[in-house]
């Protein structure tokens, strides 16, 4: 090779060939103009491909409703007998078929406490990283792993049933903040209100946050009121939700399929896509013979400029002031 390159003409030809190949691979964003075999691995392409796959699931859901309905009001959540056949549960209509465009991993302890996250690497060095966690219940292995693996993430925890984060998370750090407050669909935090209840929007306003990177919600069936009151105004205003992803336990106690369907369709309209589901098998084991009505879901938000879908996210503005007092 060295002897060939000693000839200036040969070197020029080789350079031209390499430059031409690079140009063909990088100059066009249209798949039709790319060389045969080219695979677009950019983040927008991965998100777009995952969305195309997910829309197949949405279409399939409508077919499943027709099969077992034909109307949503005809669908039973958890049929108790063998009719219809093949059997189904309500969870079968909402599989987590959106492909996480980054590494997908379970943070926190195995069993109860851990949550599935898409792309923690995207916030490892993010200077304005914000994490909200609702529902601590004395166990903070999920929050602790985020704390340990990120440099700057500020973690805000809320749970009126306990007095602090669980023992896994250091409470002395300037990056952890806890309040024994509850999350609700409406505010109730007057002088005589115990416990104090806040909407998600109210807490963001109190803390001076415009965006949340990771939002965990486990509030024992209050999630429906909480998210409806928070999400619907953003849909009505045509604005993207101000968080990047959502880890949530859904409690389908006393819910009907039409309610579950409306809830998921609201989340989907807002841009949330499920990339992981984990049934609460501990609860289901204790609930032998009953409905399998608790399940963990993880969603990624495909709208807006959050760091999980855009290589250059809009800067998340948050205040450096201390947490609000009681």
Per residue in 299-312, pLDDT (tens digit) is 999 999 999 999 86
Average pLDDT over residues 23-47: 63
pLDDT at 21: 47
Name which of 247, 222, 257 is nearest 78 in CA terms: 257
pLDDT tens, 232-288? 999 999 999 999 999 999 999 989 999 999 999 999 999 999 999 998 877 777 766
Average pLDDT over residues 48-53: 97
**pLDDT value of residue 24:** 43
pLDDT of residue 235: 98
Percentage of the chain modeled with pLDDT above 70: 82
Chain CA centroid to CA 273, Å:
7
pLDDT band at 85 (very low <50, low <70, confident <90, very high): confident
**Residue 224 pLDDT greater than 50, yes or no:** yes
What average pLDDT does the segment 212-236 reach?
95
Query: Which tokens belong to 236?
Result: 């009505």
Q: Is the peptide bond before 70 cis (omega within 30 degrees of 0)?
A: yes
pLDDT at 36: 55
Q: How far apart are CA 87 and CA 239, in angstroms?
A: 39
Are 226 and 219 a contacting pair, CB within 8 Å?
yes
Which residues are within 8 A (CB) of 167 and not within 5 positions of it... i.e. 6 or more apart? 138, 140
Residue 132 near residue 215, CB atoms below 8 Å: yes
Residues 5 and 14: beta-carbon distance below 8 Å: yes
For the domain spanning 100-301, the CATH number is 3.40.50.150
**pLDDT computed for residue 106 by the predictor:** 97
Residue closest to 128 by CA, chosen among 315, 300, 306: 315
State mean pLDDT over 51-65: 97
Instruction: Delimit the domains of the chain by residue range.
Output: 2-33, 100-301
Among residues 262, 264, 249, 255, the alpha carbon closest in space to that of 298 is found at: 249
Please report the pLDDT score of residue 319 as a whole number.
44
SS3 296: strand
pLDDT of residue 320: 43
Tokens of 79: 């049929």
The residues with which 144 forms a beta bridge, in sequence order, are none
Judged against a pLDDT cut of 60, whether residue 20 lies above it is answered with no
Whether residue 16 has pLDDT greater than 70: no
Contact 132, 216 (CB under 8 A): yes
Percent of the chain with pLDDT strictly greater than 90: 68
Instruction: Report whether 127 contacts 289 (CB < 8 A).
Output: no
Residues 6+ apart with CB under 8 A from 231: 241, 266, 267, 270
pLDDT category, 25, cuts 50, 70, 90? Answer: very low
For the chain, what is the mean pLDDT? 86
Q: What is the pLDDT of residue 22?
A: 44
Instruction: Give me the pLDDT at residue 99, please.
Output: 97
Span 64-80, mean pLDDT? 93
- Mean pLDDT across 47-51: 97
Tens-digit pLDDT profile for residues 155-203: 999 999 999 999 999 878 999 999 999 999 999 988 888 999 999 999 9
């Amino acid at each position: 090779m060295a002897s060939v390159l000693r000839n200036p003409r040969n070197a020029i030809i080789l350079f031209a060939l390499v430059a031409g190949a690079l140009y063909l691979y990088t100059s066009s964003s249209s798949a039709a103009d790319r060389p045969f075999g080219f695979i677009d691995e950019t983040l927008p392409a991965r998100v777009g491909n995952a969305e195309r796959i997910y829309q197949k699931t949405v279409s399939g859901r409508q077919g499943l409703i027709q099969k077992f309905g034909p109307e949503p009001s005809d669908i039973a959540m958890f049929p108790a007998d063998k009719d219809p056949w093949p059997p189904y549960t309500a969870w079968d209509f909402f599989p987590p078929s959106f492909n996480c465009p980054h590494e997908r991993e379970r943070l926190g302890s195995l069993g109860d406490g851990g949550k599935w996250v898409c792309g923690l690497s995207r916030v490892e060095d993010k200077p304005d990283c914000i994490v909200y966690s609702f529902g601590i219940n004395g166990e903070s292995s999920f929050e602790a792993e985020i704390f340990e693996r990120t440099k700057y993430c500020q973690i805000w925890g809320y749970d009126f049933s306990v007095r602090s984060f669980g023992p896994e998370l250091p409470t002395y750090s300037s990056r952890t903040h806890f309040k024994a407050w509850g999350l609700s669909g409406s505010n109730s935090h007057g002088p005589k209100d115990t416990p104090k209840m806040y909407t998600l929007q109210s807490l963001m306003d109190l803390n001076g946050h415009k965006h949340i990177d990771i939002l965990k919600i486990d509030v024992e069936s209050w999630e429906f009121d909480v998210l409806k009151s928070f999400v619907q105004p953003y849909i009505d205003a045509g604005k993207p939700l101000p968080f990047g992803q959502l880890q949530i336990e859904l409690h389908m106690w006393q819910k009907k399929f039409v309610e579950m369907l409306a809830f998921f369709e609201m989340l989907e309209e807002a841009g949330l896509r499920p990339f992981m589901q984990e049934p609460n098998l501990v609860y289901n084991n204790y609930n032998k013979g009953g409905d399998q009505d608790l399940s963990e879901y993880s969603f990624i938000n495909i709208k807006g400029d959050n760091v999980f879908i855009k290589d250059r996210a809009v800067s998340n503005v948050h205040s450096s002031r201390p947490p609000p007092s009681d």
